[in-house]
Every structure is written in C-alpha cells, then in structure tokens.
Amino acid sequence: MGCDGGTIPKRHELVKGPKKVEKVDKNAALAARWKYCALSTEKLRRPIVTCDLGRLYNKDAVIEFLLDKSADRPNSEVVSHLRGIKDIKELNLTDNPAWEGERRNTKGDRYEDMHCAMFICPVVGLEMNGKHRFCFLRTCGCVFSDRALKEVKTEICHKCGDPFKEEDLVVLNGTKEEVEKLREIMEEKRAKAKATKKSKKSKFSETVSKPSESKAVPGPSGSSSSSKVVKPLAESGSLAESGSKRSIQSMEEKSETYKSLFTSHSSAKRTKAQTSNWVTHTPYHF
C-alpha cells in the first residue's frame, strides 16, 4: 500500500517514535501573565485589581467569584486566599501612548508585537510587559517599576503624593520565591488582626460582665453595715415619692394656667351679677 508514483517514504513517516515534549515559550508566558486575568483568563481591562500575592485580575471576575464560590471554576485555586472585597486593591495604572490595542490589527494582516504593553511606568516609561519588575503601593494602588523606585528614592508616591513605607511595596507577578514570601507576610498580618479582634472582644465582655453589686463592709463593732445601707435606701425611696408628688402638682398647675388662656375655662365665664342686659338702639325714637 502506498508509495505510488515512485515516492520514497522516510523512516520517521513509517515508524512512530516517542512524542516530543512541547516547550512553552517563556516570553509568551510572561506576556500572558501581564495581559490576561489570572482568574478568568480573559484580557485585562479596567478596573484592574490585585491581591497580596501580586496577581492581576479583572475586578468583575473577582466579584463574581466572591458572590458564588461554589461554582466550579478552572482557576479557583489561584484565588483561594481571597476572603472578601477587602483583600483586593484597585490599581492606579498609567496608559501607554504607543499602545493602539486591537483597533490596529482588526483584519489580522499586521504584525502584533506581544511585548507592547497597555501600561507603562509613569517615572521611567518602561512598559509593563514582564521584562521589567513592577511594584504597587498598598496605600494608594499606584504602580511603578523597580528601577524608578531605586533611582528616585522617596517616601512619597511619585504619582499621587501619598506617603508610604517599604512595607507597603508589593511585587506584581513575582517569582515563586517572592510569592511565598508575600504569602507568609499575608498570613502574619491576618494572624495579628485576629489576635487584636479577640483582645477587643475579651475586654468588652469583661466590662459588660462586671457586677454592679455593692459589697458589705464590716463596721467597727464587727457587724456588717448592711443594716446601715438599708436606711438610706428607704430614705431615698421616700424622697423619690415626695419628688414625684411635687412634679405632679407642678404639672397640674401648668395645665391650669394653660387652660385659663381659653374662653371655655371656668375663670373666663361671668356670673349672673357680672352679666349686663342687652340694650338695643333704634333711630325711630321720635
């Protein structure tokens, strides 16, 4: 069978050997991490958020995951450390003026440079395509290249002017070692937050559970002063009763003075002696 027309087959066409392992292009993998969402694997679009581990997500994809965690998602392990909306930070990115997006290659007849990034560093101008190391600030969410932070050393953000510390810097899309370090820092912060919450709750419960009972103090004769405490209580009760009576009397007096303003009150009515007869005047007296 085959070999018609004088064709000579080669060995690799007849004998099937072991399949070669497909190698992933490192540059393409790096570009994909900076252009696609780590959760939904869709193209990154504003608003873009990140977590304590420095991964990039679309905000709507993270919100959908937090609303329905039971849904089977392909990359749910990537966001397993996210508990709520407070665990993510929206990034303040700087657009790249040289990036034209998909509008340039709508027909597919042009060369598309995968190293051309959507965003750049606002200080140095390096593209955020995976070739250079980038960091973001936890305080304001601004993104800068590591080179800019090393060349211009300040404690104020270059873009918005908010103060920050070295602890607020988080590497974006770091290596495995950097991600492990960031995970340890995240776990330590969460443990400290839990400890502070527990201490606050314990203090509040202690203040509430303290009884307001008065303890009996022994007098000079050795007998307790409980009998002495009863008398002032009785006196205070009698004083309270007298005060309530006085308040009732004062209220009645106020109501009487208010009623006296109207003509329907008894004080406004006249007696028969005070009333006068009606006198009619007619001009026909002559």
pLDDT for the residue numbered 30? 81
pLDDT for the residue numbered 170? 93
Percent of residues, the chain, with pLDDT higher than 70: 68
CA 219 to CA 217: how far, in whole Å? 6
pLDDT for the residue numbered 244? 60
Q: Look over the chain and give the mean of its residue pLDDT values, rounded to a whole number.
A: 78
Tell me: pLDDT of 58 over 90: yes
Show the beta-strand stretches assigned E in the chain.
Answer: 48-50, 56-58, 89-90, 94-95, 119-120, 134-137, 143-145, 169-171
Q: Which residue has the tokens 């406004």?
A: 268
pLDDT for the residue numbered 55? 93
Tell me: pLDDT of 115 over 80: no
pLDDT for the residue numbered 75? 79
CA 100 to CA 262: how far, in whole Å? 85
Lowest-confidence range among 76-90, 121-135, 200-214, 235-249?
235-249
Q: Do the beta carbons of residue 4 and residue 78 sit within 8 Å?
A: no
pLDDT for the residue numbered 88? 93
* DSSP 8-class letter at 76: G
The pLDDT tens digits of the residues spanning 121-141 come to: 999 999 998 888 999 999 999
pLDDT for the residue numbered 92? 93
Summarize the confidence of residues 230-259 as an average pLDDT.
60
CA 191 to CA 30: how far, in whole Å? 33
CB neighbour class for 158 (10 Å; exposed up to 12, middle 13-18, buried from 19) = middle
pLDDT for the residue numbered 153? 85
Chain centroid to Cα 116, Å, comes to 34
Percent of residues, the chain, with pLDDT higher than 90: 26
Summarize the confidence of residues 90-118 as an average pLDDT.
75
Summarize the confidence of residues 257-285 as an average pLDDT.
64
The pLDDT tens digits of the residues spanning 167-203 come to: 899 999 989 999 999 999 999 999 998 888 888 877 7
pLDDT for the residue numbered 215? 47
Q: How confident is the model at residue 223 (pLDDT cuts 50, 70, 90)?
A: very low
Q: How confident is the model at residue 22 (pLDDT cuts 50, 70, 90)?
A: confident
Q: Which range, 25-34, 46-55, 205-214, 265-274, has the best average confidence (pLDDT)?
A: 46-55
pLDDT for the residue numbered 234? 44
What is the value of pTM for the model shown? 0.61
